[in-house]
Amino acid sequence: MTDNLKYDQCCPEFQPELWQDKITEWNNKKFIRDTVCTFMYMPMNFGKVMRRLDARVRNEKAEVPDWLCLSEHTSKWKMNLYLAVDKNIPDTENISLTGKFFSRVYEGPFKDTGKWIKDYEAASKEKGHTIKKWYMWYTTCPKCAKKYGKNYVVVIGKIE
């Protein structure tokens, strides 16, 4: 996964059409959870946490479906990461998500996040969705975003 940057590709190329304006139903979709320290929402130890999660997944010979990793900012100082897995991982916080989720894809610099959120809120409202919980999916690491020439971010919300 992302801890071994000696390979030409650490992140697969993202396919935005698979996530643009889609509603996905998850029934006990498996994730492992960890926490990232942030300073004014900027991640401070994201890489370290991803390497730790990656090592746990690799040790158990597990898979990461869609390379899906959701970020949930809980404050200016903390962010939860939810890495999708295909099986429970020992000695790790295993959780599952169930419900309907609406996703919309954005591309550009992270400074546009405020614009993306406003657009996502408007699109959700227009479609009649009430957002219960928000997640961001940063689809590639900065190195791969530069390599591919695109910095895709997906906003995923649990909806009613």
* CATH number, domain containing residue 128: 3.20.80.10
pLDDT at 9: 58
> Total domain count for the chain?
1
Q: CA Rg, the chain, in Å? A: 15
3 assigned to some structural domain: no
pLDDT at 16: 97
6 assigned to some structural domain: no
4 assigned to some structural domain: no
25 assigned to some structural domain: yes
47 assigned to some structural domain: yes
Per-residue pLDDT of the chain (160 residues; tens, 9 = 90+): 444 434 455 889 999 999 999 999 999 999 999 999 999 888 899 989 999 999 999 999 999 999 999 999 999 999 999 999 999 999 999 999 999 999 999 999 988 999 999 999 999 999 999 999 999 999 998 889 999 999 999 999 999 8
7 assigned to some structural domain: no
β-strands 131-138, 42-43: how paired?
unpaired
Task: For the chain, give the number of residues.
Answer: 160
58 assigned to some structural domain: yes
Range of the domain at 105: 16-159
